[in-house]
Amino acid sequence: MSILVNKNSRVIVQGITGSEGSFHAAQMIEYGTQIVGGVTPGKGGQTALDEKVPVFNSVVNARQKTCANVSIIFVPPAFAAEAIIEASDAGIEVIVCITEGIPVHDMVVVKKIVDSNGTRLVGPNCPGIITVDECKLGIMPGFITRPGSVGVISKSGTLTYEAIDQLVKVGLGQTTAIGIGGDPIIGTDMRTVLELFEKDEETGAVVLIGEIGGQMEIDAARWAKVNMTKPIVAFIAGQTAPPGRRMGHAGAIVSGGDDTAAAKMKILSECGISVCESVAEIGEKTKSLLEKGIDG
Amino acid sequence: MKIHEYQGKAILKKFGIPIQDGLVIENLRDAEKAIENVQKQFKSEAVVVKAQIHAGGRGKGGGVKFSPTKEIALENVKNILGMNLITHQTGPAGQKVGKVFVTEAIDIEKEFYAALTLDRSRGDHIFMVSTEGGMDIETVAANTPEKISKVWINPLVGMKNYQARNLAYGLHLSGDAFKTTVDVFLKMYKCYQETDASLIEINPLVLTTSQTVLALDAKFNFDDNAKYRQAEIVGMRDLDEEDHTEVEAGKFHLNYIKLDGDVGCMVNGAGLAMATMDIIKLAGGEPANFLDVGGTANVDTVKNGFKIILSDKHVRAVLINIFGGIVRCDRVANGVIQAVKELDLMIPVIVRLEGTNATEAKKLLSDSGLTIIPADSMMDAAHKVVNAAHANQESTCQF
């Protein structure tokens, strides 16, 4: 068990003939992901990655020929919004969009469409999803993970790797790690991922990594307080971020009130979540929490 | 991206929204002619002289002056053009005024507030209006929320007439003023959509004594992700309003924000960069900057990163924190070594590399013979850089 993707996921890569798409498709195949096809309009009938992967003109076509149910998108920002809609309309169940820089006015439309189609979109502007030793659907380094029982949710890329690395160093493996992205409009929020981890039998604890800006961490914490039986360890990045400045991620901006790191940390603690003061505590804190759980 | 009031008003005008209009001057020698032209065009002796800076609170800071005669207007232009305007949004350093907008003077009966932005949690656009124009909207929301009317706009459907009417009813308008305002709101939404704005705020939108409605101010924010399809908007960018170093960093595709401390940092990834700043603070130091060098950290990005960080003369030590995922750490280490050599750096550099080939990378750094201090964990790196910064500061004081 795991969430969203596993060894049975049949994956297509939209934008497989581009440099990013082909590079990461090869990396994903190496990890063991079932890449069954690629999509590049106008290049249907060709093959990619040394003739290993068939390329199709459209997602509909790729889905008919390969029975794909999952897609990962490496299409440039001007075309990525449409690529998501195309995959969703073709009946793809899980879409991960890696592309950074999609205009917000495009994403609000995309979000309405994927929601009404019932598609699970992760991202955009995210590192993707990895279910340890089964399926890597993203750009993260797969070798840093170990199989185990901790689920990881994060808004950022390298900070997710840092958390995974710390968990591994204290002897804790992961079920699935998911980077949801740092844009103002994203397909899947933290609360939804918490719900999925709560239902997943193999996941025993969750590490949640948030940052300044928006209300998502707070919404997730309030939901968890009522519904979550598994322990959560959280870290919020941006305690030293000045207000009104966008810290890299388009969504990471303190606009006053509840969206500062301090305010989020306080509310998360009040909701029963173990909050780390520093990023360096993530591994140890999760370990001690799990040990306490076993003793009790 | 932000723009000036006069540019925002030009956009509103293009979309058919009535505005308080005028002429922009950058040189004092153009002032007299501009004032005369505004007086002639609007058939009134009185004009308003408005400082053009991106920050709000210009009126309270002394950057907006009602001028009943040409002579007074000229005097006001002289005082405002080139002044260092300090408002609650500029910070104590203030912002130099490079442009002045000379506008018609308006006889105001009522002032309203109107704004359009994204409601992130709902995924809809939100249009807010208030009868309390000219005031800070957060104060109104806190003290008298009943004076704010809101409608949420589904991006698939767009703004409907009934929504614009409901907003205008919220302002207690009737007759021609009501009709004009409904029209203004619909046009604002069109403008918001077509310019890829992330915020349009008209504060105040006024009802004049002759019962016409017009925008007295215009504040726009634009989505940086949409720059590729908004060439006209990008052309309005005023680099004088932005931090020089941040503009330079942008040219190298580096994401840099200057802070007040003395510990520089260079990190791959925005989240990890923020976490690094936080841990520097926790270790007793003050971060000098936010710097995300992106996914690939090669010799050029590291070199450019150093140049940007060290252009801030307060920096006493630098921490490089790279989580090498698909990029191998030994390559990053070689990049750091080469950059330090080429730039002939005298400042202590602490490097923490984690990920593929981290052990080899550490050895490369130790064997380099340079002033590079390798670190193991983030906490270790933070302590080392803070200590180095303190030591460096002490030695400077002795000389």
More confident residue, A38 or B338: A38
Cβ-nearest to B272 among A101, A156, A277: A156
A81 & A216 share domain: no
In a domain, A248, yes or no: yes
CB contact under 8 A, B225 and A101: yes
Q: What average pLDDT does range B62-70 have in this prediction?
A: 96
CB contact under 8 A, A139 and B325: yes
Q: How far apart are the CA of B125 and the nearest CA of chain A, in angstroms?
A: 9
Span B110-129, pLDDT tens digits: 999 999 999 988 999 999 99
Interface of A with B in 2-21 (CB under 8 A): none
Whether residue B162 has pLDDT greater than 90: yes
CB contact under 8 A, B356 and A214: no
pLDDT of residue B399: 43
A32 & A74 share domain: yes
A151 & A217 share domain: yes
Interface of A with B in 165-194 (CB under 8 A): 165, 182, 184-185
What are the chain A neighbours of B262 within 8 Å (beta carbons)?
A: none
A115 & A151 share domain: no
In a domain, A153, yes or no: yes
Q: For a pLDDT cut of 90, what percent of chain B falls above it?
A: 69
In a domain, A5, yes or no: no
A253 & A288 share domain: yes
A199 & A244 share domain: yes
A16 & A149 share domain: no
Structural domain span for residue A98: 10-122
| Cβ neighbours, 10 Å, residue B248 | 15
Which token pair is A97?
């969009």
What are the chain B neighbours of A185 within 8 Å (beta carbons)?
A: 118, 120, 123
CB contact under 8 A, A241 and B255: no
In a domain, A179, yes or no: yes
What are the chain B neighbours of A279 within 8 Å (beta carbons)?
A: 275-276, 278-279, 378
In a domain, A2, yes or no: no
Nearest CA in chain B to A246: B257
pLDDT of residue A13: 98
User: Does A219 reach chain B within 8 Å, measured CB to CB?
Assistant: yes
Q: How far apart are CA B32 and CA B49, in angstroms?
A: 12
Q: How far apart are CA B362 and CA B393, in angstroms?
A: 27
**pTM recorded for the entire structure:** 0.92
| DSSP H or E run through A191 | helix A190-199
| Cβ neighbours, 10 Å, residue A284 | 15
* CB A156, CB B269: distance < 8 Å: yes
Nearest CA in chain B to A211: B271
In a domain, A254, yes or no: yes
* Range in A86-90, B86-90, B167-171, B173-177 the model is least confident about: B86-90
Catalytic positions of A, please? 249
Q: How far apart are the CA of B369 and the nearest CA of chain A, in angstroms?
A: 29
In a domain, A57, yes or no: yes
Span B265-320, pLDDT tens digits: 999 999 999 999 999 999 999 999 999 987 666 778 888 998 899 999 999 999 99
A117 & A174 share domain: no
What are the chain B neighbours of A112 within 8 Å (beta carbons)?
A: 123, 154-156
Cβ-nearest to B278 among A144, A157, A239: A239
User: Does A109 reach chain B within 8 Å, measured CB to CB?
Assistant: yes
A157 & A288 share domain: yes
Which pLDDT tens digits describe chain A residue by residue (296 residues)? 689 999 999 999 999 999 999 999 999 999 999 999 999 999 999 999 988 999 999 999 999 999 999 999 999 999 999 999 999 999 999 999 999 999 999 999 999 999 999 999 999 999 999 999 999 999 999 999 999 999 999 998 899 999 999 999 999 999 999 999 989 999 999 999 999 999 999 999 999 999 999 899 999 999 999 999 999 999 999 999 988 888 878 778 777 678 899 999 999 999 999 999 999 999 999 999 988 765 43
Q: How far apart are the CA of B265 and the nearest CA of chain A, in angstroms?
A: 13
Cβ-nearest to A112 among B156, B267, B281: B156
Q: What CATH number is associated with residue A68? A: 3.40.50.720
pLDDT of residue B296: 65
A171 & A272 share domain: yes
Q: How far apart are the CA of A188 and the nearest CA of chain B, in angstroms?
A: 12
A108 & A245 share domain: no
Domains contained in chain A, number: 2
Cβ-nearest to A250 among B225, B272, B275: B225
In a domain, A97, yes or no: yes
* CB B51, CB B90: distance < 8 Å: no
What are the chain A neighbours of B154 within 8 Å (beta carbons)?
A: 112
Which token pair is B38?
């505004």
At residue B89 the predicted structure's pLDDT band, cuts being 50, 70 and 90, is confident
Interface of A with B in 34-63 (CB under 8 A): none
Residue with tokens 């509103």: B12
pLDDT of residue A244: 80
Q: How far apart are CA B36 and CA B45, in angstroms?
A: 9
A112 & A156 share domain: no
Q: Which ranges of chain B would DSSP assign to H, the alpha helix?
A: 5-14, 31-41, 70-80, 137-143, 161-170, 175-194, 231-234, 244-251, 270-282, 299-310, 329-343, 358-367, 378-398
CB contact under 8 A, B272 and A102: no
Q: What is the DSSP letter of B242?
A: S
Which strands, in side-by-side order, build the sheet including B263-267? Answer: B255-258, B289-292, B263-267, B317-324, B349-355, B372-375
Q: What CATH number is associated with residue A230? A: 3.40.50.261
User: Does A296 reach chain B within 8 Å, measured CB to CB?
Assistant: no
pLDDT of residue B395: 57
